[in-house]
Structure 1
Amino acid sequence: MAARLPSWAWVTGLTAGATAVVVALAVQADAGPHPTAAAARPGPSASASPHPSASAHAPQAPELPDDSGDGRRIVYSLGAKRVWLVDATGKPIRTFPVWPGTVAPRPGRYSITLRTQSLKGSDGVEIEHVMYFTKADGVNVAFSNALDGSSPPPANGQKLGGIRLHKEDGAALWSFGDQGTRVAVVN
């Protein structure tokens, strides 16, 4: 009669086997080609860094506008079509480009007044991470991103106050800005 192995022995054996496979794959990956600095360049959603890049070819994130206030806040530049997330010390922790709507808020200080997880935008696109902060020309102005990650369609003469972001930037903004978070709109 054959001896039966206890279940802990099977689990130990399977775990050891899986670990060996992972180690073998890691060794193969380490031996393979590595991206160069040019190929590993951060995209437009890269976080701002206080340390200059070692590569002369890496793009520098645009500087935080001087007239954007102080403390923890969201900064939206109308002219640069860009948002910065700024921590309590005044240091930008992330910056990214945006697609503004056809109705722009006036430069000034606002705060997030309402957050909505998802809905259909006034342009008919399903959007998420909607964060309202003011009204302009009778239109609500809010940050959001399309559920499918697409850029906004042409406005076709509509008054649209949505400031659209890339999907990953929308998620970062949603995590950063609670109701009441300050928003500085600058030229």
Structure 2
Amino acid sequence: MARGSSGSHGSPGTFVTVLTAVALAAVGFFAYQASAAPDGSPVATAPSGEPSPEATDGTGSPDEGAQEELDTDGDETDGEPPLPAESGDGLRVVYALADQRVWLVEPSDDGLGDTVLATYPVYPSSVSPDPGSYLVSSRSEQITGSDGVPIENVVVFDAPSDVVFGFSTATDGSTPDPGSEQRTGGIRQFATDGEDMWEFAPVGTPVIVVP
């Protein structure tokens, strides 16, 4: 009976082979689940086992980190306002009243269009010039402004008025009070901007004032 009972259950080698096959099948099943996306679809993998470049974040959309990198590498702007339209052409200073900003402009090297050498904010006084085309009429390295403040790198333009208009830098770094009852036309700049204006705009340089 013992021999017959043993024969009915097969040999020990057969039993080990069956267990091995079951174990391999289980490992394969769990490996497939681990490689599946949250929605149950397989995720493509490179030969190394790492996700391929086409892998998604599980929603079908490109990975957010990769998208941010693309945005960073794309077209960028420095955030500065563009040169106003209808502001003349050629070598000139452009002053926009509403934006309280200046552009120093020269013709491009190829003769096609303009090149903005610098643009920066300015701080007007209580009186502003009317929009129009003017010329730099005089310059002073250091004087006292009409508001009593010592100023430097003064570039005056010939807007017809009882008020003198000009770009300048207060040596104490102050800016004018646009709400002052005193009628003054100083357009103040920071020191480095005032140096740029001084170097750029000799007497006779066009100054275009736009609204």
Residue type at the aligned position of 2:204: G
Contact 2:140 2:155 in 1 (8 A): yes
Contact 2:125 2:177 in 1 (8 A): no
The answer for the alignment partner of 2:144 in structure 1 is 120
The answer for the alignment partner of 1:42 in structure 2 is none
Q: Given the alignment, which residue of 52, 56, 64 partners 2:83?
A: 64
The answer for the alignment partner of 1:144 in structure 2 is 168
Q: Given the alignment, which residue of 75, 94, 104 partners 1:75?
A: 94
- Compare relative contact order (CA 8 Å, sep 6+) and give the higher one, 1 or 2: 1
Residue type at the aligned position of 1:119: I
Q: How many residues were matched structurally?
A: 135
Give how far 1:152 is off.
2.5
* Residue 132, structure 1, aligned to residue 156, structure 2: yes
The answer for the alignment partner of 1:27 in structure 2 is none
Structure with a larger share of its residues in helix: 2
Q: Structure 1 117/169 Cα, relative in aligned 2: closer, same or farther at 3 Å?
A: same
* Residue 85, structure 1, aligned to residue 104, structure 2: yes
Give unpaired runs (5+ residues) of structure 1. 1-52
Which deviations, in whole Å up to 9, do the C-alpha atoms of 1:9-66 show, x marking residues without a partner? xxxxxxxxxxxxxxxxxxxxxxxxxxxxxxxxxxxxxxxxxxxx96999751100001
- Identify the range of structure 1 (54-63 vs 150-159) with the bigger mean alpha-carbon deviation: 54-63
Q: Structure 1 117/59 Cα, relative in aligned 2: closer, same or farther at 3 Å?
A: same
Give how far 1:135 is off.
3.7
Give how far 1:71 is off.
0.5
Kindly report the root-mean-square deviation, in angstroms, between the aligned alpha carbons of the 2 structures: 2.1
The answer for the alignment partner of 2:193 in structure 1 is 169
Using the size of structure 2 for normalisation, the TM-score is: 0.59
Structure 1 residue ranges, 4+ long, deviating more than 4 angstroms after superposition? 53-59
Give how far 1:149 is off.
2.2
Alignment identity in percent?
43
